[in-house]
A and B are shown apart, each in its own frame.
Chain A
Amino acid sequence: MTELTKAKALWIYETMVRIRRFEERSIELFQAGELPGFLHAYIGEEAVAAGVCAHLTPKDQITSTHRGHGHMVAKGLRYEGMFAELYARRTGYCKGKGGSMHIADQDLGVLGANGIVGGGIPIAAGAALGIKLKGGKHVVVSFFGDGASNEGAFHEGINLASVWKLPAVFVCENNGFAESTPRATHQAVRDVADRAKAYGIPGVSVDGMDPAAVYETAGEAIARARKGEGPTLIEAKTMRFLGHYVGDPGTAYGHDKEVVKWKKRDPILAFGAFLEKKKWLAAKEREEVRARVNAEIERGVEFARGSPEPDLSDALTDIYASL
């Protein structure tokens, strides 16, 4: 069993705050017209990214999704490069060529957010195969949503990982909606974790609003993967607090009503209370965390605003390594 130490708990708390504040600030900037494109906010699901990534080193890899900012922050990507990417600046993680849905940093073990639902799952299996062939002890975690669990890529990727016993963990962030389509109309199974049976691997459902529970479940799965015992499918039941994209009120498909009860279980508030009770982090210290994160956020935003836009010639570079 994976024990949640004070140090890990504090890391998880701060990581959740870092994710939340990044998203809140991004939304402000987007609504102020400073950011091109569109955003999918991770607010509400922070416990999943933080609870899972608390076990990962920079050499462990992740694949992420269109709703990927939370995974990036939890994996250690810096605000400067992330904001600069959202601002489409040359100093962004992808030189302004990827944007919100394609942030990646292989040095920190991020094989990319992904604009294609489920697209990262076979890639994660391949990365795990790469690690295995090179004799490494690292693992790959693939994050995706309940919608992705209906894609063929989900089946093909997890089947490969299971038949080859690869060091991979598949984390389904089940927020109950595939874009605007509620669970009951897109899959007959209530628990995505049940699908693990089809691959002969463990499938575990966990409360995705509780970072301690996510931490424990992910710890077991990741330890299993590191030991060469193969992949696990984790289903974290969670909820995005906002619409599918920033600007979607969620009213057309019942999300606005559904989300009310989930907001009462805000993972940051709940975990803050847990830490207070444990006497690990007092209210005043939580304020300090917030202030520290806010200052870092503003440095990131200022860095991005002060960064150069790409040159027009950049449009035609990085397509090939060589021609």
Chain B
Amino acid sequence: MREILFREAIVEAMAEEMARDETVFLLGEDIAEFGGSYKTTVGLLEKFGRERVRNTPISEQGIVGAALGAALMGLRPVAELMYIDFSAVAMDQIVNQVAKVRYMFGGKAKTALVIRTQGGAGRSSAAQHAQSLEAWFVHVPGLKVVMPSTPRDAKGLLKSAIRDDDPVFFIEHKLLYLQKGPVPEEDYTIPLGVAEVKREGRDLTIVATSSMVGKSLQAAAELEKEGVSCEVVDPRTLFPLDKETILASVRKTGRLLITHEAVQRCGWGAEMAAIAAREAFDHLDAPIVRVCAKETPVPFAPKLESHVIPNKDDVIAGARALLETA
């Protein structure tokens, strides 16, 4: 299979959906000539023109509000927030408007829209450009939240998100954009709400999101050398959550490690741990372990940043600790 970059997979997904459905259009900061700050809209202006690849002012609540208004009129906007950190500027529109209108209006509102954004640390982007805020959005009924970890998943999930009739918050990781991976040339989608077992194993389950999937696979490969067999499960969609795939793995291995790049406190992993504790309690042989960022804003200094963001060795250490508990 051919291999393409994660960011190219994102471009392809949007190009294909825009060609397929003329109600799909893009809006965001610097997405036209500039091709997006992370080059995720390169070439789309030339293909689809200025009306459908729409540069906006730096106006995050304007962008999200405009996407919602257009969705209510029957279009399928894909809004880009350049950094997930900037979602804080648009929070009223995301939380009080986008997520609520269907329910508040008794189920009659059309809210087919995608908010694409990018988060995560690893480039010394510091405290306002490197957060992992997914838990905020998972917490709000009315939103769906997607966090792909591979080019193939990114493309298939983004296509599904664009076709979905609900608002989807789609979070890409800035360090994954230049990751290459196999992506089918033929048309395909990956349904929202379906997890994937990225590596099968027997001794423990690692549930990992976004950038932590790759780090967990590396950790699993190292642990394999010590005779430890890890199963790595990527939920891919944080809501709706494919609990069954994850719990089936936990019931098989009896041990659960959850890892994400967001800070631990009230992170998505807390919800995951609660679900597992409730629904797979009898199968757990040890307390659930979480490997997350240290509880601090993301520091600028590379040395400090890599200290607070979990890496492969942290996953390995967590796995060892999990295996050592009775």
Q: Which residues of A are interface residues toward B (Cβ below 8 A)?
A: 61, 92-98, 102, 104-106, 111-112, 114-116, 119, 121-131, 133-134, 140, 152-153, 156-157, 159-160, 163, 317-323
Contacts and interface: CB of A to CB of B under 8 A. Distances in A.
Nearest to B95: A116
Contact of B142 (A115, A119, A320): A320
Q: How large is the interface on B (under 10, 10 to 19, 20 to 34, 35 or more residues)?
A: 35 or more
A119 B105 contact: no
A133 to B, nearest CB: 6
A153 B65 contact: yes
A291 to B, nearest CB: 32
14 contacts: A93-B106, A95-B106, A104-B104, A119-B65, A122-B62, A126-B67, A126-B68, A126-B73, A127-B72, A130-B69, A130-B70, A156-B57, A160-B57, A321-B166
Contact of B65 (A112, A123, A133): A123
A94 B57 CA distance: 34
A102 B105 contact: yes
A109 B212 CA distance: 46
Interface in B35-59: 51-52, 56-57, 59
Contacts of A115: 96
Contact of A322 (B51, B110, B142, B165): B165
A124 B69 contact: yes
A129 B105 contact: no
B92 A157 contact: no
B6 interface: no
A317 B107 contact: yes
Interface of B: 25, 51-52, 56-57, 59-62, 64-75, 77, 92-93, 96-97, 101-112, 141-142, 144, 164-166, 193, 240
Given A128-B69, A129-B69, A153-B65, A119 B106 contact: no
B72 A126 contact: yes
A95 to B, nearest CB: 4
A317 B108 CA distance: 12
Pick from B92, B102, B193 the residue with the most CB of A within 10 Å. Answer: B92
A112 B110 CA distance: 12
Contacts of B56: 160
Select the residue from A61, A159, A318 with max chain B CB neighbours within 10 A. A318
A178 B56 CA distance: 30
B104 A127 contact: no
B265 to A, nearest CB: 27
Contacts of B166: 320-322
A17 to B, nearest CB: 27
Nearest to A92: B106
Contacts of B77: 126
Contact of A126 (B51, B60, B70): B70
Given A122-B93, A134-B74, A321-B166, A157 B65 contact: yes
B62 A125 contact: yes
